[in-house]
Chains A and B, each alone.
Chain A
């Protein structure tokens, strides 16, 4: 089974800061990596698919990168509405794995 890890598990940053979250896969997963944002009390929402493609309607301050085993989600200019937990997710032949999540707060 492929395991997904995320770091850090939580972070605090100031409004306007550049924030980067990392997702690591236990083996090469090419670009089969997606990112979701989950605000408190809400369902997850797709941000990035196929490692780097921005979902329609998602602000351009969000970007994704990486391939193989190492992936990043970057928020270029953190906004108060970005307070949320962020999850990476991998897909392989109708089996899905979510990372443990990274909680982002405003300092």
Chain B
């Protein structure tokens, strides 16, 4: 069974850059798509984008295109989500999750979440 472990909580100021990570273990990390999902305080789940670590093929939700960058380094089994200029509205918990397969569109393993707080 695969496991995903995310980096710890972050606090940043508006305009700052930030990069959070998601490290996979217990499975072939390069062979499974990884998704990033945002959950704003007290709200639901928003799909942000997805990456295939094997070749870094990436698709973004139209809502997040241009707002964040998703990347991966398969040599260290890690996916990343980054911002170049944080906004207060980026305050949320961010989850990574593993897509079972390209034909089976469900997520069978989730990271524990990374809380990002943006405040001046």
Contact = CB atoms under 8 A, between A and B. Distances in A.
Residue of B50, B106, B110 with most partner-chain A CB within 10 A: B106
A92 B105 CA distance: 8
A44 interface: yes
Contact of A96 (B47, B95, B104): B47
Interface of B: 33, 35, 37, 44-47, 50, 59, 61, 95, 97, 100, 102, 104-108, 110-113
Interface residues of A, number: 24
Given A43-B95, A43-B111, A94-B59, A89 B44 contact: no
A44 B45 contact: yes
Residue of B33, B45, B61 with most partner-chain A CB within 10 A: B45
Given A91-B106, A101-B45, 11 more contacts: A34-B106, A45-B110, A49-B106, A50-B104, A91-B105, A92-B105, A96-B61, A97-B47, A98-B44, A98-B46, A98-B47
